[in-house]
């Protein structure tokens, strides 16, 4: 069923994607697995867009289908109403307005039980610092699809250093062109190769933070 859902959203088939999500939930499929299937389908959409098989309207419609599907899945992910697993501040680096990848990461983190504070796109370094102070977030995630965002990512890490928060806040970066060299340049703690990796990093960092003396 998960493969079917990934294929349906990859084909930008709104009606059948949403119907398949509802059916899978009724059959008891793990809600988080459904979000991952949708994410895989969106990855295919992105690849087809880059290959010029899809165009901007396809990208926009697929994103809307994703959001509708997550809204359907959402009530099944609320759990027992227990405490959140931690807080995450997320946003796209200053100078970059791409948000599809960032939105998927934010959604998956929220689905995984974290309090997520999404600052949107083109976010100044100090805005990340301010929100982290306000919320007490233990993790900050900075996204960027353009290479020009690398300087902003570094500036964001530096801003936390200047604010005296670098030792108490873990920082991860992500986006298509991000790799080990970019990580080293920016000085963040880790980078996520994809949204699933970002969730795993959040789990590792915030679990360590919760059990620290």
Coil, strand or helix at 7: helix
The predicted structure's pLDDT at residue 4: 93
Question: What pLDDT, in 10s, does the model give residues 28-68?
Answer: 998 878 988 998 898 898 889 888 999 989 988 998 898 89
The predicted structure's pLDDT at residue 83: 55
Distance CA 156, CA 44 (A): 30
Helices (H), 112-194: 125-135, 149-162, 180-186
Q: Residue ranges of the domains in the chain? A: 2-77, 87-211
Q: Which of 126, 121, 134, 127 is nearest to 87 (CA)?
A: 134
The predicted structure's pLDDT at residue 46: 81
Question: What pLDDT, in 10s, does the model give residues 78-128?
Answer: 554 555 679 999 999 999 998 878 888 888 788 778 899 999 999 999 999
The predicted structure's pLDDT at residue 80: 47
Distance CA 98, CA 103 (A): 9
The predicted structure's pLDDT at residue 208: 60
The predicted structure's pLDDT at residue 99: 84
The predicted structure's pLDDT at residue 209: 57
Q: Which CATH architecture has domain 2-77?
A: Orthogonal Bundle (1.10)
Burial state string for 177-196 with b = 16 or more CB within 10 A and e = fewer than 16: ebeeebbeebbbbbbbebbb
Question: What pLDDT, in 10s, does the model give residues 147-187?
Answer: 999 999 999 999 999 999 999 999 999 988 999 999 999 99
Give one word for 30, left, alpha or beta, with left for phi > 0 and alpha for psi -120 to 50: beta
Question: Which CATH number is correct for 87-211, 3.30.420.480, 3.40.1280.10, 3.40.50.280, 3.50.50.60?
Answer: 3.40.50.280
């Amino acid at each position: 069923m998960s493969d079917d859902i990934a294929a349906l959203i990859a084909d930008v088939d709104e009606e059948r994607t949403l119907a398949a999500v509802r059916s899978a939930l009724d059959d008891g499929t793990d809600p988080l697995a459904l979000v991952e299937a949708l994410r895989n389908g969106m990855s295919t959409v992105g690849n087809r867009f880059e290959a010029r098989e899809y165009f901007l309207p396809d990208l926009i419609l697929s994103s809307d289908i994703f959001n509708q599907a997550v809204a359907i899945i959402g009530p099944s992910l609320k759990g027992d109403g227990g405490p959140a697993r931690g807080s995450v501040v997320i946003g796209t680096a200053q100078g970059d307005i791409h948000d599809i990848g960032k939105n998927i990461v934010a959604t998956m983190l929220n689905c995984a039980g974290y309090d997520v504070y999404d600052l949107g796109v083109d976010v100044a370094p100090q805005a990340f610092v301010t929100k982290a102070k306000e919320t007490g977030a233990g993790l900050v995630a900075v996204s960027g699809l353009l290479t020009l965002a690398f300087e902003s990512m570094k500036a964001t890490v530096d801003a936390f250093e200047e604010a005296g928060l670098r030792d108490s806040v873990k920082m991860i970066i992500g986006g298509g062109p991000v790799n080990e060299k970019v990580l080293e340049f920016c000085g963040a703690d880790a980078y996520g190769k994809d949204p699933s990796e970002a969730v795993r990093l959040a789990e590792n960092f915030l679990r360590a933070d919760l059990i620290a003396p």
